[in-house]
Amino acid sequence: MSLGTAAREADPAPAATPGGAGVTPAPPAVRRISLLTRFKRDKSMLIMTLPAVLLLVVFAYIPMAGNIIAWQRFSPYTGFLHSPWVGWDNFARVFSNPDFINAVQNTLTITVFQLVFYFPVPIVLALLLNSVLSPRLKTSIQAIVYLPHFFSWVLVITIFQQMFGGAGLISQVLRAAGREPLAIMTDPSTFLLLITSQSIWKDAGWGIIIFLAALSTVDPAQYEAAAVDGAGRWRRMWHITLPAMRPVVILLLILRLGDSLSVGFEQLYLQRDAIGAATTEVIDTYVYFQGVQYGDWGFAAAAGLMKGVVSLALVLGANKLAHVFGEAGVYKRS
């Protein structure tokens, strides 16, 4: 025990070099302390991570290994280990399936549409809020717009239904005025607009908070110096505010890119009946219905696995790209 304490004291204090985990000048120290000593020293630390690691192994890693059924004609009765192997058959079926292709197309359409019409909204709103001078007004509005982020999708869609549905508040007003009630909650042609406005209503506040946090790190002296040098408010925004937001914008773009194959599963699942399967089918809902509903397990797992692999490649690729352009990205190279 005393040896362990001494060794720890001999180690450079970890807090003195934050983020320097990759460059610990540890080798001589490690050689001096045996594995057993280190284990004894750090036993309690290891025990503390154990419950979380166990949960991840059981509920994340074993299912990951369960993806082997993508190469099987899986049946729940024969199980993971005894179902017949079919090679790449399931993958071939996925690729030649027009419904899957349709689901991929829908997914990408929604992603691109939301990237154009949803992604800039929190940025603009954050700039707007940032220009509000009264701290009290600013925090109240922030608190209000952030609230729906904590609502469930069921609640959000029910709220939309009560406002914009055929029997909702706005339809009531229209009907009272002798007009036709709204049909946007069930109309496939305005569906992209509908789900994007739902996403904005629910999550734009979350984005605002992140961007405002980024803006709060800007030294006010920069604005003052720029103003003294004759820069107007728009030029200050262009040259100070926007550059301060850039790393966060890039970070969120990367995360969005990695997520581009998963669009609002619950949101679409919940509105499938109202709007129709053809328009709302995305990769995730397709996988769910093929597997859990129709029992084509191997096929559904193959489709899901491909999505997972492509998403992983997308996020790693985007991160690489960010590094190439000299940005921090999601994680640092170490």
Partner 1 sequence: MTTTSEVVRPLDAASDVPPVKRPRKSKHRASWEEPATPVGLFFKGVALTIVAGAVLIPLYSIILTSISSKTTISEAGGMVFVPGEITFEAYSQLISGGVVGRAALVSVGITVVGTLISTIVSAMAAYGLSRPNTLWHRPILFIFLITMFFGAGLIPTYLWISNLGLINSYWALILPGAVSAFNVLIMRNFFMGIDAGITEAARIDGASDYRILGQIVMPISRAVTAVIALFYGVGYWNAFFNAVLYIRDTEKWPLQMVLRSYVLQGQPIPGSAGTSVDAATGDIASLAVKMAVMVLALIPVVIVYPFVQRNFTKGVIFGAIKG
The sign of the dihedral angle between the CA atoms of 333, 20, 250, 219 is: negative
Site for partner 1 in 139-158 (CB under 8 A): 141, 143-148, 150-155, 157-158
Contacts of 334 (CB under 8 A, 6+ apart): 21, 22
Site for partner 1 in 157-196 (CB under 8 A): 157-159, 161-163, 166-169, 172, 175-176
Cα–Cα distance between 88 and 92 in angstroms, integer? 6
The encoded tokens of residue 48 equal 């503390």
Is residue 281 a contact residue for partner 1 (CB under 8 A)?
Answer: no
> Residues 71, 274: contact at Cβ < 8 Å?
no
Residue with tokens 């359409």: 109
Residue with tokens 């991929």: 104
| Residue 176 Cβ vs partner 1, minimum distance, rounded to whole Å | 7
DSSP state of 237: I
The encoded tokens of residue 258 equal 């990695």
Is residue 38 a contact residue for partner 1 (CB under 8 A)?
Answer: yes
> Residues 147, 155: contact at Cβ < 8 Å?
no
Among 2, 220, 324, 333, binds partner 1 (CB under 8 A): 220
Is residue 52 a contact residue for partner 1 (CB under 8 A)?
Answer: yes
Among 201, 218, 244, 310, binds partner 1 (CB under 8 A): 201
Binding mask 224-263 for partner 1 (x = CB under 8 A): x--xx---xx--------------x--x------x-----
Of 60 and 324, CB closest to partner 1: 60
> Residues 251, 325: contact at Cβ < 8 Å?
no
> Residues 263, 153: contact at Cβ < 8 Å?
no
Is residue 203 a contact residue for partner 1 (CB under 8 A)?
Answer: no
| Residue 233 Cβ vs partner 1, minimum distance, rounded to whole Å | 6
Is residue 308 a contact residue for partner 1 (CB under 8 A)?
Answer: yes
3-class SS at 148?
helix
3-class SS at 78?
coil
Cα–Cα distance between 78 and 80 in angstroms, integer? 7
By CB under 8 A, the count of residues binding partner 1 is: 116
| Residue 155 Cβ vs partner 1, minimum distance, rounded to whole Å | 5
| Residue 239 Cβ vs partner 1, minimum distance, rounded to whole Å | 16
| Residue 149 Cβ vs partner 1, minimum distance, rounded to whole Å | 9
Of 123 and 248, CB closest to partner 1: 248
Site for partner 1 in 59-78 (CB under 8 A): 59-67, 69, 74, 76
Is residue 119 a contact residue for partner 1 (CB under 8 A)?
Answer: no
Among 240, 307, 322, 329, binds partner 1 (CB under 8 A): 307
Is residue 26 a contact residue for partner 1 (CB under 8 A)?
Answer: yes
> Residues 198, 157: contact at Cβ < 8 Å?
yes
The encoded tokens of residue 273 equal 């009946």
